[in-house]
Amino acid sequence: MTPDLKTRIEREIQSHPVVVFMKGNPLFPRCGFSAAAVQMLQAYGPVHGIDVLAEPEMREGIKEFTRWPTIPQVFIRGRFVGGSDIVRELEERGELKALLAG
Amino acid sequence: MLEPAELERRIRAALPGAQVEVRDLTGTGDHFEARVAAPGFEGLGMLDQHQAVYGPLRDLLDSGSLHALALKTYTLEQWKRLPGRARNPP
């Protein structure tokens, strides 16, 4: 991963409270897992999406940044939370809203 | 094309004593669902539990031969209480 890309990722996750590296964008997700994650998060507020399909270097770069092998990847207030399974689990446990509220 | 048994074998090899169930969601050998409980999961957060399962599958995920894996992880205590869950003998 180039230093520029790492800087960009760090800037993105610090600039928005909820960031999802996803396939497609929040309005038009192009993968069921990305769609599910965004839908659950959007129930509580806006989501900043970054489309990895539009940026091949980001698709690999974000996986390297987190050491996490799958897309989507969710960040809340700059902290990596996980993928769609973890967001769903948090929602089922009733913990997602509180996590988003800080 | 992957078989659920191959994924189960890899996960069990990486996590000795784990309870593992893998299901092919689409019949196409690339979209799977896995439920995993392992002795080491006690006290780990979900992030670390999921990473522990991704570990032995990473080459398959990176190459795209394993396109999607819906994953649920449990401690062995949580697993015991799951309703209708098949159990491997101890």
Domains of chain A (ranges; CATH) run 3-101 (3.40.30.10)
pLDDT single digits (tens) B59-90: 999 999 999 999 999 999 999 998 766 555 55
Q: What is the pLDDT of residue B79?
A: 95
**Residue predicted with more confidence, B90 or B51:** B51
- The percent of residues in chain A predicted with pLDDT above 90, rounded, is 98
Distance from CA of A41 to the nearest CA of B (A): 18
Rounded to whole angstroms, the Cα distance separating B25 from B23 reads 6
Work out how many CB contacts closer than 8 A connect A with B. 29
Find the CATH number of the domain harbouring B74.
3.30.300.90
**Residues A12-38: what's their mean pLDDT?**
97
3-class DSSP state of B19 = strand
Residue B39 lies in a domain: yes
Q: What is the pLDDT of residues A30-66, one digit of tens each?
A: 999 999 999 999 999 999 999 999 999 999 999 999 9
Residue B88 lies in a domain: no
- The average confidence (pLDDT) of chain A is 97
Distance CA B19, CA B12 (A): 8
The distance of B71 to chain A (nearest Cα, Å) reads: 6
| ipTM of predicted complex | 0.88
**Which residues span the domain enclosing B49?**
4-81
Task: Read off φ and ψ for residue A8, nearest 5 degrees.
Answer: -65, -45
Say if B86 falls within a structural domain. no
pLDDT at B82: 87
Residue A96 has pLDDT above 70, yes or no: yes
The residues, any chain, with a CB within 8 Å of residue A70's CB and separated by 6 or more, are A33, A63, A83, B54, B61, B68, B69
Q: For chain B, what is the domain count?
A: 1
Give the pLDDT confidence score for residue A81 in this predicted structure.
97
Contact B46 A83 (CB under 8 A): no
Is there a domain that residue B11 lies in? Answer: yes
CA dihedral A32, A102, A82, A84 (to 10 degrees): -20
Q: Which two tokens stand for residue B9?
A: 């074998």
Q: Which residues contact B11 (CB under 8 A, 6 or more apart)?
A: B18, B20, B22, B34, B36, B53, B56, B57
